[in-house]
Amino acid sequence: MDQKARRAAITKALKAGGAKARRGHLRLQAGELFWYVDVRADSPAPSAALTFEVGAWLPAAGPEPDGGAIDCPLLADVGVGEDPGQATVDLLALISPVGDLAALRAFVEEGTLPGALVDQQLRALLG
């Protein structure tokens, strides 16, 4: 499956999971928290590996991100793997239940998204 078809499968699965377009990015609202999911390719080649850029934002953490996941106070990269549709379903199952500050705190403390970057303002909110 080429990059275009994999991206289409990801977009279809995200929308089926409840993600809606906002400022050119797909985001999923879970309670008071918003999850942004963008896709980055390692190169322009049709067979390039894809990575989910996953960002979490809540209004208490500052202004709404203009640039999608990359501008969120929590950012993590998650590999897409061989089956983009299933990878998207798995990602949604992972992030959808996290809808408030307490759940996000536990999510970060447990290291559910390895390598996640958390900015200072969100870190202060997480306590």
pLDDT of residue 37: 97
pLDDT-based confidence at 7, cuts 50/70/90? very high
At 65-117, the pLDDT tens digits run 999 999 999 999 999 999 999 999 999 999 999 999 999 999 999 999 999 99
43-59 as b/e: b if 16+ CB within 10 A: eeeeeeebbbbbbbbbe
pLDDT of residue 14: 97
Query: Does residue 42 surpass a pLDDT of 90?
Result: yes
Q: In the chain, pLDDT over 70 holds for what percent of residues?
A: 100
Query: What mean pLDDT, rounded, does the chain reach?
Result: 95
Q: How far apart are CA 93 and CA 86, in angstroms?
A: 10
pLDDT of residue 1: 87
pLDDT-based confidence at 6, cuts 50/70/90? very high
Q: Where are the beta strands (DSSP E) in 44-91?
A: 50-57, 74-79
Query: Does residue 45 surpass a pLDDT of 90?
Result: yes
